[in-house]
Structure 1
Amino acid sequence: MTPERKLPERRSRKARRTRDTLAQAAFELVLDRGLRNVTVEEIAEAADVDRRTFSRYFTSKEAAALDSLRGDGDRINAALRARPAPEPPLLAYRRAVLDWLADPGAEPWHRRPRIFDLLVVAEEEPTLYAVFHHIRVDAQEDSVAIVADRLGVDPRQDIRPAVTVAAGAGALLAAQAAWVRGGRPDALPALVAEAFDALSADLLGEPRPAPEQHLDAPERHPGAPEQHRGITSTTSTAEEAERTEATS
C-alpha cells in the first residue's frame, strides 16, 4: 500500500477513535451524574478534546451518550440479511433479533455493561428518548430495504416490507420496555421471544391455534342464552318453538 493510500486510512481510524472516546465519556458521565447534570464541555474535557471537536462528531450530549446503540441496528440488519430466503419476512426478522441476542460477539444489550442502566435513563428523559427513537427509525429504514429485497418488491409501491418491520420493531420495543420496567438485565431474550409470540401466528407463517385453545372464549352452559359477538340473544326456547309451529 502506498503512503498516499495509508494517510486517509490513518485519519479515518483516528476519527473513529475520537468519536468512540467522546461517546464513551458521554455514556459514563450521563450514567454517573444524570443527563441534566452533564454539559457538552465536560464531555469534551473528559475525552481530552475541545468543544469544537465535539461538535464535529455530535449535535448534542444525548446523541453522544446513545451513540453505542447505533451499531445494534446494524448488527440486527446484518443478521436479517443472512437469514434463509424461504423464511417468511416477519419470521426472518424475529430470528435475526434472536440471533443478535444469542451472539456474545455482537455484544447485545443484556451482555453489555450498563446498557440496561442507559435504557432506564432514556425512558425517564424525553430528550434522550427522542434521540433513541431516531436511532431506531434509521435502523428500521434499512430493515425495510432488506425485507423488500427479500420479497423482490419496491417498498415505495408495496406496503408489506414496512408492515413487517413495523410489527417486528414494535415487538422488540415492547420487549425492551418490559425489560426496563422489570429490572432483570438477563430477562431480555425471553421477553423478546414472548413479544414475537404475541404477534399474529399468520404473519409469522406458523399455524393458527385451534379454537379450543383460546382461553378468552365464553363458556356456555346448557340452557344458557347464546352470545354473538358480545350481544346476548334473548330469544327463548319456547319462542323458537312457537315460530316453528306457526310456519309449519
Structure 2
Amino acid sequence: MSTERERRSPRRGPKGTRTREALGEAALRLVLEHGTAGVSVEDVTDAVGVSRRTFSRYFASKEEAVLDGIRADCVRINEALAARPARETPLTAYRAALRVWLADPAVPAWHRRAGVREVFRLAEDEAPLRAVLRRLLLEGEAASVRLVATRIGADSVRDLRPAVAVGSGAAALMAATRAWVADGDPEALPGLVEEAFALLAAEPP
C-alpha cells in the first residue's frame, strides 16, 4: 500500500512540471472569473482533464494552486540569489537577484504576467488565500535566509545578519508590491522596487 508521502509526491520531469503549471493556471483563471468560493478543486481538475488524485500530488488546496506561480517566483528569486558573486554583500545580492527576476525575458515576473495584481488584491479580501500567500512568501524568505547564511558562512538562526539582510530586502519588495497593486500602471513594479531599495540605502537598518 502506498504511503501518504508517496500519494502526495508530485511527478518529476517535464510532464509533471507541465501538469502542475496547467493546474495552477486553470485555478488562477477560474478564481479570478468566479471568486474563490465559486470554484472547487473539481472545477480545476475538469478544466485540465486530470483526476482529483493528480491534483493532490501537487497541491493541498485550491488556494495553493491559485498561488503556485507566486511560489515559483520565490524559487526563481532564490536561484538568482544563489548565482550572485560571493563578493556582493547580502543585501546587494538580494537586490541584484530581484533585478534579474524582474527583467527575465523567458519567465515574466509579476508586472508582466496576467492576473498577478488581481490575485494580490483578492488575497486582501479573502483570508484563506491571504494565509497561503503569506506562508509561501515566508517560505521563500526563509530559503533566502539560508542561502545568505551559506554565502557568508553564518548560522542562519543564531547569526542575525542573514535574516536582517533578507528581511530588509523582502520588506522593500513587498512595500513596492503593495504600491504597485494600488497603482494604475502595470509596468511600475521595477521602478517601485528600485525606489524602495534606494530608501533602504539612504537609511539602512
Normalised by the length of structure 1, the TM-score is 0.73
1:126-165 Cα deviation digits (max 9, x unpaired): 2111111111111111111111122121212211001111
Q: Is the 8 A contact 2:123 2:133 kept in 1?
A: yes
Q: Which piece of structure 1 moves more, 139-148 or 12-21?
A: 12-21
Q: Indicate the residue corresponding to 1:172 in structure 2.
A: 173
Distance 2:38 2:199 in 1: 40
State the shift of 1:200 in Å.
Answer: 4.6
State the shift of 1:11 in Å.
Answer: 6.8
Q: Which amino acid aligns with 2:115?
A: R
Q: Indicate the residue corresponding to 2:75 in structure 1.
A: 74
State the shift of 1:80 in Å.
Answer: 1.4
1:52 equivalent to 2:41? Answer: no
Q: Is the 8 A contact 2:28 2:115 kept in 1?
A: no
1:20 equivalent to 2:30? Answer: no
Q: Indicate the residue corresponding to 2:131 in structure 1.
A: 130
Distance 1:12 1:108 in 2: 23
Q: How many aligned residue pairs are there?
A: 195
**1:82–1:51: structure 2 CA closer, same or farther, 3 Å change rule?**
closer
Q: Is the 8 A contact 2:28 2:67 kept in 1?
A: yes
Q: Is the 8 A contact 1:109 1:115 kept in 2?
A: yes
Larger Rg: 1
Q: Indicate the residue corresponding to 1:220 in structure 2.
A: none
Q: Is the 8 A contact 1:93 1:168 kept in 2?
A: yes
Q: Indicate the residue corresponding to 1:159 in structure 2.
A: 160
Aligned-CA RMSD value:
1.9
Q: Indicate the residue corresponding to 1:242 in structure 2.
A: none
Q: Which amino acid aligns with 1:110?
A: H
- Pairing 1:1-248 to 2, within 5 Å after superposition: 12-201=13-202, 203=204
1:200-240 Cα deviation digits (max 9, x unpaired): 54649xxxxxxxxxxxxxxxxxxxxxxxxxxxxxxxxxxxx
Q: Which amino acid aligns with 1:150?
A: R
**1:201–1:87: structure 2 CA closer, same or farther, 3 Å change rule?**
farther
1:94 aligned counterpart, secondary structure: helix
**1:100–1:12: structure 2 CA closer, same or farther, 3 Å change rule?**
closer
State the shift of 1:191 in Å.
Answer: 0.7
Q: Which amino acid aligns with 1:45?
A: D
Q: Which piece of structure 1 moves more, 127-136 or 51-60?
A: 51-60
More relative contact order, 1 or 2 (CA 8 Å, 6+ apart): 2
* Structure 2 spans left out of the alignment, 5+ residues: 1-10
Normalised by the length of structure 2, the TM-score is 0.87
State the shift of 1:102 in Å.
Answer: 1.7
**Percent identity over the alignment?**
51
**1:202–1:150: structure 2 CA closer, same or farther, 3 Å change rule?**
farther
Q: Is the 8 A contact 1:75 1:106 kept in 2?
A: no
* Structure 1 spans left out of the alignment, 5+ residues: 1-9, 205-248
Distance 1:103 1:117 in 2: 21
Distance 2:83 2:204 in 1: 20
1:37-75 Cα deviation digits (max 9, x unpaired): 111121111111233332232111100111111111111
Q: Which piece of structure 1 moves more, 58-67 or 112-121?
A: 112-121
Distance 1:24 1:104 in 2: 19
